[in-house]
Structure 1
């Protein structure tokens, strides 16, 4: 039986955890008294200085884990750059995360590719390049274009991820066109399975061209008890095939992620251990 960890995507906006006026500098410490893992999103927008990671290592307990999203240019979100132009960025990113690596707190790198990154030979080769450049580290892949799991490509995609020692990310998200992927309950790496709950806001999933306002709408969703219960058999299926399952809730816009994460943890009968003490909530 594998170990199951549940957390959310980012700790800064989880206001429901910080009801006693917690300062920004203390939020991660408080967060780590509730959950054993977190997804680091700020690394998607900038190459962060090592001191940031050093601080986060100090603020979290020994068994705490980070799922880290590489910079957006590394995953093709910034179109038009040649692969060669990105190699220095890969080097800088790798250097920046070393405090997590040395502390044993890097669960995996999460390469989330953009909605226009479809299933083509060119994109397969690019993933191979990413894997080669990051060969020292656990590596997870999340697709956002449904072509990767079209009937004629589904098994080939899973085989490919297995061949490059990558974790296939199971996604719960709206099914509203080519820029979304279906739920594919499968394991490609015996060490780690990764599940991400994005919400089911069908109307807000596509970008209407309003930038940040759209992002606030995209992840605005509160999972019902019935929707979460329907996921329990899927988790039971994959936990028998891997050493560890990490589950992340990304429905942050309305402040529902942490509550849904705790609700799902109870459904699975989890009792997280090794967390930070709760004293910070008193100040």
Structure 2
């Protein structure tokens, strides 16, 4: 089974044209997709009451991929050990308490651990991964790297073997190939039940713009064309033979392209949104990411 969704539900205005300016967009989103990635949990651990509302706002069969808090993956700066909690144990416990309502509702697909570009393949970092997985107990956990050393040369098979042995869900990424802070497409599975696929776009200029003004607005500025999606449709069918389920998440949100690309891919795979019909936005005359870097 291949399930397709988006990263976040608040930035996709095309989905809400018929619903008007609704403040509660999640129920409308669930008319289009059966899975969503929660990104807000990366920036702050949400209150359990918030998670409980998300569970109640979505229909039976809907599921969440919840992104691990930034302190759990070494992104956080400042505070006690890089986070505002009294130790690692307290931080992980707070996160587990927060997601408990989603788990109780049977709507948790996985928690996604996305490690930063400076988290390279070392023995110390392997120990970090083991510790994080142990703290999560029986919660299904996806693993996404951002440093190519994990999949360079012979490390590719060693990393996949580690994921299988330690019980991680492999995350396949489509992203720009620029420098060490990226990984190639690693078409493989580490878990019989689930493989996660994340589409970050292929905007190479935007990918290396971190730290520059408005970098968040350009990093994921990319629209996949029909040929690129067709190639992925075939790849997803192969991945489907390796895991019972493949969860596909579009993160190319900067220019509002994620929803259209996701629906386009669903059509290629013979799928319809839960509500049964949709309209794609007309193709853009010129990719917005090209205009962004034009010289005056």
Distance 1:272 1:4 in 2: 13
Distance 1:67 1:38 in 2: 6
Distance 2:36 2:261 in 1: 14
Distance 2:150 2:92 in 1: 25
Per the alignment, residue 215 of structure 1 pairs with 216
Per the alignment, residue 68 of structure 2 pairs with 70
Q: 1:69-218 alignment to 2 at 5 Å?
A: 69-78=67-76, 81=81, 85-210=87-212, 213-218=214-219
Per the alignment, residue 245 of structure 1 pairs with 246
TM-score, with length taken from structure 1 = 0.92
Change (3 A) 1:277 1:92: farther
Distance 2:64 2:149 in 1: 29
CA contact under 8 A between 1:61 and 1:276: conserved in structure 2?
A: no
Higher relative contact order (CA 8 A, sep 6+): 1
CA contact under 8 A between 2:188 and 2:242: conserved in structure 1?
A: no
Per the alignment, residue 281 of structure 1 pairs with none
* Structure 2 unaligned blocks of 5 or more: 279-296
TM-score, with length taken from structure 2 = 0.88
Change (3 A) 1:225 1:277: closer
Distance 1:215 1:82 in 2: 22
Distance 2:34 2:166 in 1: 27
Deviations 1:171-202 (A, max 9, x none): 00000010000001000000001000000001
User: When the two structures are aligned, how many residues end up with a matched partner?
Assistant: 273
Per the alignment, residue 42 of structure 1 pairs with 40
Distance 2:197 2:270 in 1: 17
Per the alignment, residue 255 of structure 1 pairs with 256
Change (3 A) 1:241 1:143: same
Per-residue deviation, 1:52: 0.7
CA contact under 8 A between 1:167 and 1:188: conserved in structure 2?
A: yes
Q: 3-state SS of the aligned residue for 1:97? A: helix
Change (3 A) 1:277 1:66: farther
Per the alignment, residue 23 of structure 2 pairs with 24
Change (3 A) 1:55 1:276: farther
Deviations 1:95-117 (A, max 9, x none): 01000000000000000000000
Per-residue deviation, 1:22: 2.9
Per-residue deviation, 1:167: 0.8
Provide the alpha-carbon RMSD of the alignment. Answer: 1.9
Distance 1:258 1:64 in 2: 17
Q: 3-state SS of the aligned residue for 2:247? A: strand
Given the alignment, which residue of 6, 9, 18 partners 2:7? 9
* Structure 1 unaligned blocks of 5 or more: 279-283
Per-residue deviation, 1:75: 0.5
